[in-house]
Amino acid sequence: MKSPLRRIVANFATALTSVSITLLGLEFGIRLFSPQDLGYFDSRSFRRNVSTSPHFVENIPNGKANFLGVPVVINSLGLRGGEIRTPRPPNTVRILTVGDSITFGYGIPLEATYSKVLEKLLNQPPSPVAQYEVLNGGTLGGSLGDYFHFLTQKAETLQPQIVLIGLCLNDIFVYSEAGGISEVATERGRELPLLRRLNRFLLRRSQLYTLSYARFKSFLYGSGIVDFNEVQGSNFLALAPPSPHQAQAWESSLGMLSRIMAFCRQHSYRLVVVIFPMQMQMSITDFEFYKKNYHLKLGAGTLSGEPQQRLRDFATTAGLSIVDLLPVYRTYPSQELYVRNKMIPSDPTHPSVKGNQVAADEIFRVLRGMIICGNDCAGRRPKPR
């Protein structure tokens, strides 16, 4: 007669064997009838961290991938897109967009990013006087310190007349003096390192896991098995209830923005900051969705646009040009403005093709009055330098 312990072990082994056979069968079925791209979420071929501290993120020159279902090509200067001429050609007004995955175009074809849509708008109708060129300097996972690093490394070569910083509220961190995100700001992101390694391993090897990855992650967060606030909370610090850490992050982030401003003024680049809102700011319905389904801790200032107001107040004092997209985004259904597909069922951060188009339209409208007209609003184009 088997002991209770042996029966438990035997039953566990039987169950584990059954689950393993079932998963292997599903994996085989997916590979046979609905093959998945194991590189769908893999950015290693075009994105890296600088080897030296503070390990800024950058695009890999000449990198290529099919990332999130769209082709990604990085040119020899580390910009998304084709090769450009250096030095800047005569009769060319060059605008450089700098930002994170929003500016890069997360899951968006290059021609649908707000950079390229803006370029088309600026060049209609074509002018014999000046050609507009909008460069995409976005990098996945970037933040204000990375933007400053990018400008100090690349702006002199690229020679922009105008710099657009695509700022999302997940850029609000405590930054170190060197420009990296401080230990205090990132300690939560280091939770569950084993789970993160297992996640990367499975994404690169299992087509079944790749197919179910986003929904599985949503399940973990929604069920409370994994605390969204512990793993991703630092990305939503600007929307969280007030705290000393949040106040420190705002002070540090505005200080980093001041450094970017000083750099641009020193080099005679006109700086414009474009503020991208998050979906939980669109409506009370969106606000409650992320609180209920992801248990995200959101402050009352999320819906009132308090983070945007902080940035507008700073811009007024500092003499900084701002394009706040929150008002215009709220005139559209939020479901149209953020990336959604069968692999990404919910994303509160990254604009869709429609979201990029709305952003480009608003940037163009503001630029036309703020910069293109300059001191003479007769509609003339700026003279290239």
Structural domain boundaries in the chain: 1-35, 79-372
Q: What is the mean pLDDT of residues 37-58?
A: 92
pLDDT tier, 302 (very low <50, low <70, confident <90, very high otherwise): very high
What pLDDT is attached to residue 78? 97
Q: Which pair of tokens denotes residue 13?
A: 């082994």
Structure confidence by residue, pLDDT tens digits, 75-134: 999 999 999 999 999 999 999 999 999 999 999 999 999 999 999 999 998 877 789 999
User: What's the whole-number mean pLDDT along residues 147-166?
Assistant: 97
**Looking at the domain 79-372, which fold is it?**
Rossmann fold (3.40.50)
- pLDDT confidence bin for 316, thresholds 50/70/90: very high
Nearest to 211 by CA among 203, 200, 219: 203
Q: Is residue 100 classed as helix, strand or coil in its secondary structure?
A: coil
For residue 381, pLDDT over 50 is answered with no
What is the residue-wise DSSP string for 22-37?
Answer: HHHHHHHHHHHHS---
Q: What is the pLDDT of residue 225?
A: 63
Of the pLDDT bands very low, low, confident and very high (cuts 50, 70, 90), residue 31 is: confident
| For residues 283-310, average pLDDT | 94
Tell me the C-alpha distance between 113 and 134, whole Å: 11
Looking at residue 371, what is its pLDDT?
54
How far is CA 28 from its chain centroid? 34
Q: What is the pLDDT of residue 376?
A: 37
Decide if 269 contacts 137 (C-beta within 8 A): no
Task: Give the whole-angstrom CA distance, residue 268 versus residue 160.
Answer: 9
What's the Cα-to-Cα distance from 226 to each of 141, 153, 200, 215, rounded to whole Å? Answer: 22, 39, 17, 14
Quote the tokens at residue 212. Answer: 């179910």
Q: 5-9, 141-145, 219-223: which has the minimum mean pLDDT?
A: 219-223
Residue with tokens 């401080």: 182
| Mean pLDDT to the nearest integer, 309-317 | 97
**pLDDT for res 193:** 65
Q: Is the pLDDT of residue 228 over 80?
A: no
